[in-house]
Amino acid sequence: MPRIPITMLLVGLFELTALGATTSPILLVANQGDRSLSLIDTAAGAQIAAVPENDVTGHEVAASPDGHTAYVPIYGNAGVGKPGTDGSKMLVIDIPSHKVIRALDFGHGVRPHCAVWGPDGMLYVTTELDQSVTVVNPKTLKIVGSIPTGQPESHMLAISHDGRRGYTANVGPGTVSVLDMKGRKQIAIIPISKTTQRISVSQDDKMVFTSDQVKPQLAVIDTATNKVKTFVPLPAAGYGTAPTKDGRWLLVAIQKLNQVAVVDLQSMAVARTIDVPRAPQEIVVTPDGRTAYVSCNATGKVAAIDLATWKVDKLMDAGKGADGLALAFPK
C-alpha cells in the first residue's frame, strides 16, 4: 500500500474542516436561575461563556442558521398562567463576542417564550398574553406579522419541516392550536387534557407530540385529521420531546423519575429509559442523529446521550435552572 505524503493528509483535513465535517456545534442553554445564556463547546464538553441577560429571565433560545446569533425571548419571573412580571423584549446575543448586541421591544407585556426559525427565514415567537405567534424578520429585527392561536398560554411552538403548519402547546387550556403559517391563521384547536406541555413534530410531519400533565401519557396527533391518534403510556408525566433523525424513536423527558423515555414510534410503546440528572426539561438532537442533549434543570447540567448505545456518555456544566436548548454551527 503506497504511503500518502503528510502534506496531502493535512490538505485533506483542512478541506474537511472547511466543509464543516469536523465542526462540533456550540450548545446554547437558557439558564432561568442564573438569568444567563451558557455557550458550551460540545467537543470539549465545557462551558466557554455565560452571557448575562441583564437581570431578566429567558426560558428558551433559538440560534441563527449561520451560527453567529442567539435570540432569547424574555418571559418574565412567573410560571405559565401565574402572577408575575410580563416580559416585553427579546434579546439578541452575538455568539462569537459573547455579548448582548440588540433587543426587540414588543411594545407591551406579552410574555414571549419560544422562538423558532421557519424554513422561510422568519423567526416565530410565541407571545402568550396576545394569544398569538409573532412573526419577526431577523435581518431587520422588525415585527412583520402575527398569527392568532385562539387560546391563552400558547407556550411552546413547533413548525412542520415543510413550513406549512405550526403547532402550539396551550398549557392551561390543555389544547394544541394548529396554525396555517403562510395564511397566518389558526385552523384547528385540538383538546388534549386539563393541562399539556411542550410539543414536537415527527420527521415526516405526519405526527405531533405533546405531554399530558394530568396523566402519565403522551398525546400523538395525526396531522392529516388534526385529531389525537393515540395516547402512549409513560412511566410518569412527560415534558420535552424530540424525535430522532431516522424517525424511528421519540425521546421524552420524564422529570419526576430523572429519566428520558425512548418511545418506539412503530409500536407506540416505551422501549427503554435512560437515567439522567434531576429534572430533565428539553431535548435537542444533533443533525447527524448521533447525539441528544438534555437540559437538567435541578442540577444545572446537560446530559449528552449517545443514540447508538442509548447511554449518557458526557455530563456538561451549564447554569442554575438550565432549560431551553439550541444548537449553533458557526460558519
Q: What share of the chain is helix, strand, coil (3-state, %, to 5)?
A: 5, 50, 45
**Residue-averaged pLDDT of the chain:** 93
pTM confidence score: 0.92
- What CATH architecture is 25-237+320-328? 7 Propeller (2.130)
Give yes or no for a contact between 223 and 208, defined as CB atoms under 8 angstroms apart: yes
Question: For residue range 138-190, what is the model confidence (pLDDT) as tens digits?
Answer: 999 999 999 999 999 999 999 999 999 999 999 999 999 999 999 999 999 99
Backbone angles phi, psi at 152, to 5 degrees: -75, 165
Backbone angles phi, psi at 202, to 5 degrees: -65, 160
Question: For residue range 272-319, what is the model confidence (pLDDT) as tens digits?
Answer: 999 999 999 999 999 999 999 999 999 999 999 999 999 999 999 999
Q: How many CB atoms lie within 10 A of CB 131?
A: 20
Question: For residue range 75-111, what is the model confidence (pLDDT) as tens digits?
Answer: 999 899 999 999 999 999 999 999 999 999 999 999 9
Where residue 17 falls (left for φ over 0; alpha for ψ -120 to 50; beta otherwise) is alpha
Q: What is the pLDDT of residue 9?
A: 36
Question: For residue range 44-63, what is the model confidence (pLDDT) as tens digits?
Answer: 999 999 999 887 889 999 99
Q: What is the pLDDT of residue 331?
A: 81
The amino acid occupying position 137 is N
Q: How many CB atoms lie within 10 A of CB 226?
A: 16
pLDDT reading at 19 higher than 60: no
- Cα separation, 238 vs 257, whole angstroms: 10
Residue spans of beta strands (DSSP E) within 235-296: 241-243, 249-254, 259-264, 269-275, 280-285, 291-296
Picking from 189, 196, 229, the residue whose alpha carbon sits closest to that of residue 215 is 196
In angstroms, how far is the first alpha carbon of the chain from the final one? Answer: 36
17 vs 222 pLDDT, higher one: 222
Q: What is the pLDDT of residue 23?
A: 72
Q: What is the pLDDT of residue 138?
A: 97
Return the bridge partners of 219, or none.
210, 231
Give Cβ neighbours of residue 278 (< 8 Å, ≥ 6 apart).
258, 296, 297, 298, 299
- Cα separation, 74 vs 78, whole angstroms: 11
